[in-house]
Structure 1
Amino acid sequence: MSETVNPSPAYRVRLWAVIGEPRSGKSSTIGALMSQAGRGRGGRRDILLRGGGWLVVHCYRGSVQEANRSPERSVEQILKVAKTLARHQPMAYFNVLIALRSDVCNGLPKADHYLAHYLQAGWELQSLILLDLMKEYDRYARFGAPTAVIDNSAEALLKQRQRNWVFGAARNHFGWA
């Protein structure tokens, strides 16, 4: 049986994505969203919500394409983690935060191709952030998920005071505190 379709009706995969070109700040933004300074792979995090409460999110800092994962392989690997957790505790949702590149990388497709594949797998797109991609807004907004553009992110991330503005805009868009 192929794992490209959600194998369990007991939970659904919900996806948040940060999308941008190389060096636009995808990994830094995800690191700030998951309260992990410096480098690191990511992992499970309890995210404080603006309206109160917590959301368990599985975060992946590096872009899927830079990790050399095809859309199919990306789905398989994320579902493998979800299935393992579902065996130990019931869950309604498996929440994922990922980085996607807006360009072709390692011969792998652009972010919109990955998003289309995730939808075909039955995943729910919760929210998208586009870093320095105003011209690409229509390409991503067509998926129907709330989509925000954070302009000048690459430049802002070079300046310590402006970094918090980028991270705050991302948190605000996602509804995370």
Structure 2
Amino acid sequence: MAPETPYGAAVGWHPDPANPGAHRYWNGSEWAAPPPDWYPVPENPPYFAYWDGTRFLDGVKTRAQLDQMHGRGKFSPQTVSTVGGIAPAVAIVGVILASQSASLISGTGTIWLGAGLAVIAGVVARVFDIKTWAQVLCIIAALYSVGAAIRMESALEDRREEITRQFDQLAP
């Protein structure tokens, strides 16, 4: 006789109705052997054990240990999503600031602020491993902004030298 199925039950490990004290895997439509993976320990759900396709192997791990093993979980999905929206916006603001004009009087502070914001957005995008397109946008914005700041500094330096030459010619 087939064990009673947990009608409407979620996919996962459930008490085996035919064998009290044991657990079976319900795949959503029938009792089945689960695919090899880490699963919550039925008797102790905060811990995970590896199912090799036929049995659980010795040793358990916490969710944090699994995340560390698989290189994920440094940041919550909500944090990554938030940063993924903010970092490109900060990079664009950086580009706008870095694209401003400067004069000998005003200097290039705003331009360097923009470059700095774009660089920070690029670094944050990489650290938080946000979507690839957003990382690329932030890195391009950082490169453009730093390039714009360097070009503006060079243009102002040329202008300063020209003014110095003009004053030197006026001197007796």
TM bucket (normalised to shorter chain) is under 0.3
TM value normalised by structure 2: 0.22
Give the structure with higher Rg (CA): 2
Ranked by relative contact order (alpha carbons within 8 Å, sequence separation 6 or more), the top structure is 1
TM value normalised by structure 1: 0.22
Q: Which has the higher strand share?
A: 1
